[in-house]
């Protein structure tokens, strides 16, 4: 059974960088069968895709984040990570990591982590 | 950017009702549409992909269809477990989600 687990600080100060890691079990990121992505959801609102990455390090990002997003992968630890720079209160959200269902970056998400709430506040 | 317009935003229904949620794409997305169910405090669960293909383990009372640029999710007979929020997602160009439909009693 594929499982994903987000980890990282639950509170980030304004204008600092949000950093989260997703640890994958039950599948190998380096198998090359899937892209791996991040999706966020402000409390009580809708879902927004942030970006996705392949085991090679090839990444695609949502242009609406205006270059603030960086996703990296560590195949030795079977993890991938999200960095979001210059955060503001608008970046307060539940952050989910998820598996893209194929080796094509634009596909649906078939497995999700439980999500982690990150609040931006001084 | 491809925008997904989902309606209604809230739907009041009863157990046993047939309910339909719609999602309209701002551009042609072919069959590349998925539906997710999200219960309070939980991550989304994949229900349907490629417009009408049920994910493994999803009850057959759920179905998906398309007519032109309008996509629909139908629950044929609403069960207590189905009261949740539903999101559509296009994946023709990157991924964009609809705003969600809350199905409530």
Mean pLDDT of the A77-93 span: 98
pLDDT at residue A105 greater than cutoff 90: no
- For chains A and B, CB pairs below 8 A equal 55
Please give, rounded to a whole number of angstroms, the shortest distance from the CA of A107 to a CA of chain B: 5
Q: Which residue has the tokens 């960086």?
A: A70
How far is Cα A85 from Cα A91, in angstroms, rounded to an integer? 10
Q: Which of A44-48, A93-97, A101-105 is least confident?
A: A101-105
Please give, rounded to a whole number of angstroms, the shortest distance from the CA of B17 to a CA of chain A: 25
Per-residue pLDDT of chain B (105 residues; tens, 9 = 90+): 899 999 999 999 999 999 999 999 999 999 999 999 999 999 999 999 999 999 999 999 999 999 988 999 999 999 999 999 999 999 999 899 999 999 998
Taking CB atoms and an 8 Å cutoff, what residues of chain A touch B93? 106
In chain B, DSSP assigns E strands to: 4-7, 10-12, 19-25, 33-38, 45-49, 53-54, 62-67, 70-75, 85-90, 96-97, 101-104
How far is Cα A52 from Cα A70, in angstroms, rounded to an integer? 10
Task: Note whether B95 contacts A: Cβ–Cβ < 8 A.
Answer: yes
Q: A51: pLDDT confidence band, cut at 50, 70 and 90? A: very high
């Amino acid at each position: 059974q594929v499982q994903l687990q987000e980890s990282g600080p639950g509170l980030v100060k304004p204008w600092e960088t949000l950093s989260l890691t997703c640890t994958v079990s039950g599948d190998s990121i380096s198998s090359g069968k899937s892209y791996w992505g991040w999706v966020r959801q402000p409390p009580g609102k809708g879902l927004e895709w942030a970006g996705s990455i392949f085991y090679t390090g090839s990444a695609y990002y949502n242009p609406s984040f205006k270059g603030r997003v960086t996703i990296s992968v560590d195949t030795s630890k079977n993890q991938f990570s999200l960095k979001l720079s210059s955060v503001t209160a608008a970046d307060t959200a539940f952050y989910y990591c998820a598996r893209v269902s194929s080796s094509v970056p634009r596909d649906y998400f078939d497995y999700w982590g439980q999500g982690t709430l990150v609040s931006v506040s001084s | 950017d491809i925008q997904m317009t989902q309606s209604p935003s809230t739907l009041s229904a009863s157990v046993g009702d047939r309910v339909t949620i719609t999602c309209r794409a701002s551009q042609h997305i072919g069959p590349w549409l998925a539906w997710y169910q999200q219960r309070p405090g939980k991550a989304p669960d994949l229900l349907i992909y490629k417009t009408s293909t049920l994910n493994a383990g999803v009850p057959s009372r759920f179905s998906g269809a398309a007519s032109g640029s309008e996509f629909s999710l139908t629950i044929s007979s609403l069960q207590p477990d189905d009261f949740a929020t539903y999101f559509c997602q296009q994946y023709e160009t990157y991924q964009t989600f609809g705003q969600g439909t809350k199905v409530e009693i």
